[in-house]
Structure 1
């Protein structure tokens, strides 16, 4: 390793991403499922955007929010996977300092957007089930646009300080990041200064964004379940609850691994580092892949349009 990795410097010209430490010999094999995940995420989410844009019958709040989620996943996947595959395939570990900060911002910003969109989708499900006759009035297109802008504004502004908090720190220990991408606390820990501000602000963002969203989603589904149980027949209850299936699956695929990763990182200090990093990759990369699969399988309108598209092309 070059001397620049250990000499004193205030602002390094670049960082070195190690990928998944301890599993370097398996990087090529690990890259295979990651590459498949990326391909499915890109093609599947583009297909969702294409189908919703093409079909006027899908121009409803639920599908507008789904398009926002698909766009978020496209950006999130692309901000992580290409560099990660370069590390795995070509041992291209160096990333410029400013590029690292930019990747950090995109990861945290679009993760916050993802969480906010799930809250917006929970609102849509609540209105559709609890106030079905007023759904088109309550969630008119201008309201949906305002909700989307509010979600974007919150995600972009709350995570904006991350790169600035990291840039102000002096880095005089090493420029080696024991991770496969630039994550806020992972970068801050390289600094030879007090990083409590970074740590506290990171916790503030987690609880004020994801924490608030989880509370809102939980409250929405408590009201939804209460309304469903008041329906007269079992078939009606099952059919109504089935309209929430895709949303619930998408939520669980995001929040369960992300919360588990957060808790393991904070409290399970004896867990191997490579397990932490694999888990961090899973909660960022798997939901973008699952999104088109979940909505393609569980949402009849999208499934029918997709089958019709491929059937027509095949004739």
Structure 2
């Protein structure tokens, strides 16, 4: 397929995804509570913030949570974006889900993952892009490209720094007070896909004392819906100067080869080199970086669910 045709098709798919991802994000209450196959979900409804709009937070607890808690167990915590897409396909707009409960439960039963809670933070509808696009990239963009992105893509309201303040200053203290968590960065990870991958990497770099692990699946380095240089270049400059210390952090990156993921390869290759130049390594017992390409997979929850085990085990597990 010619590149121009592929680009147009990917742009149409991406535009549809943007509309559909945004549409259900903050619909009128009550939204259905996800019913996972394993464990249970507790909803922290309309969590208020001084920094961003209120939104639901769906916390997944393993099936033996109460017994473990009574025995004094403390839990690792995985923060995930697009929280309405994580646990139950019956409640999502596209009838797909990450099935996080299924994978985490199995890995814990097998003794390959420590006891873990998942904090699913709902996205904010039409402001999803605004909250997930790393704000400090803007300073490294050409003025005309920056102004266009802010007005069209970010709704004239760049909010990623405010969103991270919500996560770090408000939500994490709430989670740590409500549940028996390990609170240190080595026990705290952040993960997302597409724009959620961008904000996850940004979160670890902006708050390395909070997030010791980050994973981006199908990370959307192009920032928009067509190949371009200005947004990836801004990301490269930021990453070059701000990547978290490899001595105390782990980073996971991947992408597929179809749908929107078909555009990612050249950008991810350069990100990988920046990460290696910073001192991250993929080799041996000290490996703290993993990057993967999944041939024939696309930009959807089904694809991310099928490979979720890989980043989870890299971040915390017995590999």
Judging by fraction of residues, say which structure has more helix. 1
Judging by fraction of residues, say which structure has more strand. 2
TM over 0.5, shorter chain: no
Return the structure number with greater relative CO, CA threshold 8 A, min gap 6.
Answer: 1
Largest Rg, 1 or 2? 1
Q: What TM-score comes out, normalization by structure 1 length?
A: 0.29
Q: What TM-score comes out, normalization by structure 2 length?
A: 0.29
